[in-house]
């Protein structure tokens, strides 16, 4: 199930990138739509979590209120008709920069613990960060920034899909 | 005081504290939401200008007046939410016994319920947005009701414990 | 619990139960090794990875929290460090999803503790060590579950340390910070814990992460609010719990060396520790981050022998070079850990709970 989710989300990312590169106007609308749907789904998930689990927990009502706010944020995002492209691009760049930074920090921690996977993590993090920085440099030339961002999105999607095909060790207990 | 009563008081105080905290967040969100709607929903912007029957040359002046009016309204809304929220948090921690915030909370419930039908207008917003707004308003009513109810229960339990 | 109790205190308990110095060292080594036998170590010595009894922070960083990942985490932590108290616990008006997690809450004297000790009977000494680790942790890690769960393992800022004063006892509010690199400041009740994560299955919500090292400090007495207890607080008295753990370990080990016909829960060998009770209580209540020095000195006095410091590499060469790996110390430990994990996971599965996976 997890594997299917990762592959589908990777394919969506490639689709989004292709739309953005071929027609930036539609690309931005696509991004807003995806963002709105994501927030609505997150809101509904949080509400479901509240009613099935968190309401039995100390301070569990927090989940209820957060879920409602997320839901409203998602619905609001979906109703927006006039978002300057600059804002959307800046938002996407911020997310990639943050992800890249976290990945680099985790790679450093992995390296200090002697893990072998740290090089891959570091590479992903650096690529994410470099993409974000290049987009910031070209932010006023939106077509270039969109192209760079689209390429970065395709790269991330390929990595996501290839990781989904990683073998999972199922431990069978007798 | 027995353990069950202590647990109940703790639960109700926690409800009051959470309600206070999220009442502040809801206030902040309503301000941000309104700003986003006005700046990024062209239907609303054009409707506001059309309704005001502004001449082309007066658009800038109208915008400035609109900004000032909204700024004052937002400050009032945030001030109100902050006051009620902070009072509730202080009350839940035993740092204040002043119940005036509960009266304001009750007034807010009435206002929200009265204004609820006015929000069901899908002229400028999609159905999803209207439904979500209604859910937010009803949740805020629930939050405030929870705050008031919990405060009453805490008071009763504390009084019973003293006796 | 930490090395002070799992290694040195277990050694002392084994001596008091009647084991020789060498046997007690083997048991103590095995008990401590449970905290170190990760997949990283097992792959280094080319041992079966399913014998893992712990996960390193690094392994957990990369651990997936989908259903397979959660089952993998739960299998290890619920089996070796947070043995469930009651797999058939009942709580009204809770859905199955909630109860699956609730039933994994750890506590002493559950049915699984008896099964753990019984399983180690007539097995090599490493199995005894594993059983002692698991038994001891049921006392230290009570009220937390060995599965990532916000609704079970979360805590609030209502955390008060109970400290002894001249006039009796008083409560001092604890402060928590999220700086893993910083030491806990014991004198000011400032401790490190994991950062709040609102996601139910986040690794930050595994076990007692939200309470930091507090359950592992033998001196700590504190009152706090567990997420699952309907706003009722609990008082955790570590000195008393650790003393019970120590006396129960003696009892269990006496059974394992056939000094007693049966091991039952809720029974402790207080009489055996009577001559040393003050000394033990002093060690347990001394305000220090780790009591290895004190326990080591006590153990050496009991046996009149020198206790080697714990060395993680001690038996690795023996295992790597052996033809018959099952006859080596680590081979026996690996067999014991697989058997114990299988037993616990089977019990969880048979109770209708899939959090530890499917057991054939």
Encode pLDDT of B6-44 as tens digits.
999 999 999 999 999 999 999 999 998 888 877 776 666
A68 domain residue, yes or no? yes
Residue C150 forms contact with A (CB below 8 Å): yes
Q: What is the DSSP secondary-structure string of C70-105?
A: HHHHHHHHHHHTS-BS-TT---TT--HHHHHHHTTB
User: For C48-83, how does the pLDDT look when each residue is reduced to its tens digit (9 = 90+)?
Assistant: 999 999 998 878 877 777 888 899 999 999 999 999
Is 90 exceeded by the pLDDT of residue C221? yes
SS3 at position C145: strand
DSSP state of A172: P
CB contact under 8 A, C56 and A113: yes
Residue A31 forms contact with B (CB below 8 Å): no
The CA-based angle C204-C207-C208, given to 5 degrees, is 85
Q: How far apart are CA C4 and CA C289, in angstroms?
A: 10
Structure token digits, residue C356: 């530890």
* Interface predicted TM-score (ipTM) of this complex, two decimals: 0.88
CA distances B3 to A64, C229, C230, C232, Å, are 27, 12, 11, 7
CB contact under 8 A, C98 and A52: yes
Return the residue of C nearest to A106 by Cα.
C61
**pLDDT the model gives residue A171:** 44
**pLDDT the model gives residue B115:** 86
Residue C232 forms contact with B (CB below 8 Å): yes
Please tell me the distance in Å from B54's CA to the nearest CA on chain C.
49
Residue C225 forms contact with A (CB below 8 Å): yes
Please tell me the distance in Å from C334's CA to the nearest CA on chain B.
45
Structure token digits, residue C317: 């060469």
Please tell me the distance in Å from C159's CA to the nearest CA on chain B.
13
Cβ neighbourhood burial of B154 (10 Å; 0-12, 13-18, 19+):
buried
**Of the ranges A49-58, A75-84, B50-59, C200-209, which one carries the lowest mean pLDDT score?**
B50-59
Q: Are A76 and B36 in contact (CB under 8 A)?
A: yes
Residue C230 forms contact with B (CB below 8 Å): yes
Return the residue of B nearest to A84 by Cα.
B40
CB contact under 8 A, B6 and C233: yes
**C240 contact partners, CB below 8 Å, separation of at least 6:** none
User: For B72-127, how does the pLDDT look when each residue is reduced to its tens digit (9 = 90+)?
Assistant: 999 999 999 999 999 999 999 989 888 899 999 999 999 999 988 877 766 666 77
Q: How far apart are CA A153 and CA A139, in angstroms?
A: 16
Q: Are C109 and C265 in contact (CB under 8 A)?
A: yes
Q: How far apart are CA C65 and CA C148, in angstroms?
A: 9
Q: Taking residues C275-286, what's their average pLDDT?
A: 95
Q: How far apart are CA C356 and CA C358, in angstroms?
A: 7
A171 domain residue, yes or no? no
CA distances C284 to C192, C246, C292, Å, are 21, 11, 11
CB contact under 8 A, C231 and B3: no
Which residue out of B40, B41, B43, B126 would a mutagenesis test of the A interface target, given it has the greatest number of A Cβ atoms within 10 Å?
Answer: B40
Number of Cα atoms under 13 Å in the Cβ half of residue C127: 20
Return the residue of B nearest to C229 by Cα.
B7
Return the residue of C nearest to B10 by Cα.
C231
Residue C233 forms contact with B (CB below 8 Å): yes
Query: CB pairs below 8 Å between B and C: how many?
Result: 16
Please tell me the distance in Å from C242's CA to the nearest CA on chain A.
28
User: For C84-129, how does the pLDDT look when each residue is reduced to its tens digit (9 = 90+)?
Assistant: 999 999 999 999 999 999 999 999 999 999 999 999 999 999 999 9
**Of the ranges A132-136, B58-62, C27-31, C47-51, which one carries the lowest mean pLDDT score?**
B58-62
CB contact under 8 A, A2 and C67: yes
pTM as predicted: 0.87
**pLDDT the model gives residue C257:** 96
With bands split at pLDDT 50, 70 and 90, how would you rate the model's confidence at A23? confident
CB atoms under 10 Å from CB of C65, counted, come to: 17
CB contact under 8 A, C231 and B7: yes
Residues of C with CB below 8 A from B10's CB?
A: 158, 225, 231, 233
Question: What is the total count of domains within chain B?
Answer: 1
CB contact under 8 A, B25 and A69: yes
CB contact under 8 A, C61 and A49: no
Residue that is written with structure tokens 């009442």 in the block:
B23
Residue A67 forms contact with B (CB below 8 Å): no
Q: Are B89 and B21 in contact (CB under 8 A)?
A: yes
A136 domain residue, yes or no? yes
SS3 at position C156: strand
Q: Which strands make up the sheet holding C155-165, listed edge to edge?
A: C168-173, C155-165, C221-226, C234-237
Between C335 and C175, where is the model more confident?
Answer: C335
SS3 at position C2: coil
Using a CB–CB cut-off of 8 Å, the residues of B that contact C are: 3-4, 6-8, 10-11, 14
**pLDDT the model gives residue A169:** 45
Q: Are C53 and C80 in contact (CB under 8 A)?
A: yes
Q: Looking at chain B, which subunits does it touch, using at least 3 CB pairs closer than 8 Å as the criterion? A: A, C
Domain coverage including residue A52: 2-164
Structure token digits, residue C298: 């006590």
Domain coverage including residue B138: 3-162
Q: Looking at chain C, which subunits does it touch, using at least 3 CB pairs closer than 8 Å as the criterion? A: A, B
CB contact under 8 A, C231 and B8: yes
């Amino acid at each position: 199930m997890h594997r299917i989710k990762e592959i589908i989300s990777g394919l969506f990312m490639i689709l989004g990138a292709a739309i953005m590169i071929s027609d930036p106007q539609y690309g931005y609308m696509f991004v807003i739509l995806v963002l709105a749907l994501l927030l609505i789904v997150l809101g509904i998930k949080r509400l479901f979590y509240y009613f099935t689990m968190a309401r039995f927990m100390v301070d569990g009502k927090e989940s209820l209120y957060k879920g409602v706010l997320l839901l409203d944020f998602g619905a609001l995002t979906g109703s927006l008709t006039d978002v300057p492209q600059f804002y959307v691009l800046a938002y996407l760049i911020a997310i990639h920069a943050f992800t890249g930074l976290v990945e680099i920090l985790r790679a450093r921690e992995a390296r200090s613990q002697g893990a072998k996977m740290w090089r891959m993590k570091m590479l992903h993090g650096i690529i994410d960060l470099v993409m974000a920085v290049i987009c910031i440099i070209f932010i006023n030339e939106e077509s270039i920034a969109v192209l760079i961002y689209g390429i970065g999105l395709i790269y991330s999607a390929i990595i996501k899909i290839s990781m989904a095909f990683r073998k999972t060790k199922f431990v069978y207990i007798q | 005081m027995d353990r069950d009563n202590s647990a109940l008081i703790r639960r109700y105080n926690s409800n009051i504290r959470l309600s206070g905290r999220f009442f502040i967040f809801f206030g902040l969100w309503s301000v941000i939401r309104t700003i986003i709607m006005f700046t990024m929903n062209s239907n609303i912007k054009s409707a506001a200008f059309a309704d005001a029957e502004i001449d082309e040359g007066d658009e800038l002046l109208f915008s400035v007046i609109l900004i000032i009016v909204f700024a004052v309204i937002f400050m009032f809304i945030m001030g109100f939410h902050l006051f009620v929220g902070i009072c509730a948090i202080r009350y839940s921690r035993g740092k204040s016994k002043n119940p005036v915030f509960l009266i304001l909370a009750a007034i807010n419930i009435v206002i929200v319920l009265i204004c609820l039908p006015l929000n069901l207008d899908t002229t400028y917003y999609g159905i999803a947005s209207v439904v979500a707004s209604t859910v937010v308003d009803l949740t805020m009513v629930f939050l405030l009701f929870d705050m008031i109810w919990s405060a009453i229960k805490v008071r009763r339990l504390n009084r019973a414990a003293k006796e | 619990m930490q090395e002070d109790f799992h290694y040195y205190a277990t050694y002392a308990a084994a001596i008091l139960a009647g084991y020789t110095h060498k046997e007690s060292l083997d048991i103590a080594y095995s008990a401590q090794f449970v905290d170190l036998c990760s997949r990283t170590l097992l792959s280094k010595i080319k041992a079966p990875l399913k014998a893992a009894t712990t996960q390193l922070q690094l392994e957990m960083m990369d651990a997936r929290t989908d259903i397979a990942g959660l089952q993998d985490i739960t299998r290890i932590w619920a089996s070796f460090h947070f043995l469930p108290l009651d797999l058939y616990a009942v709580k009204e008006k809770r859905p199955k999803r909630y109860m699956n997690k609730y039933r994994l809450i750890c506590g002493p004297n559950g049915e699984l503790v008896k099964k753990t000790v019984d399983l180690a009977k007539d097995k090599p000494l490493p199995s005894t060590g594993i059983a002692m680790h698991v038994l001891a942790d049921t006392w230290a890690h009570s009220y937390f579950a060995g599965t990532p769960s916000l609704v079970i393992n979360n805590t609030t800022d209502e955390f008060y340390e109970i400290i002894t004063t001249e006039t009796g006892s008083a409560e001092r509010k604890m402060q928590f910070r999220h700086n893993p690199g910083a030491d806990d400041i014991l004198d000011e009740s400032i401790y490190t814990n994991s950062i709040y994560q609102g996601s139910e299955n986040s690794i930050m919500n595994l076990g007692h992460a939200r309470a930091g090292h507090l359950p592992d400090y033998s001196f700590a007495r504190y009152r706090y609010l567990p997420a699952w207890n309907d706003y009722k607080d609990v008082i955790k008295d570590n000195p008393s719990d650790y003393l019970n753990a120590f006396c129960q370990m003696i009892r269990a080990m006496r059974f394992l060396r056939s000094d007693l016909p049966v091991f039952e829960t809720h029974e402790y060998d207080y009489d055996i520790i009577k001559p040393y009770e003050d000394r033990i209580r002093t060690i347990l209540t001394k305000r220090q981050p780790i009591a290895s020095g004190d326990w080591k000195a006590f153990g050496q006095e009991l046996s009149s022998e020198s206790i080697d410091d714990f060395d993680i590499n001690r038996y690795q060469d023996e295992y790597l070079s052996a033809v018959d790996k099952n006859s080596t110390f680590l081979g026996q430990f690996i067999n014991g850990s697989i058997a114990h994990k299988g037993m616990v996971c089977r019990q969880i599965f048979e109770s209708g709970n899939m959090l530890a996976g499917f057991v054939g």
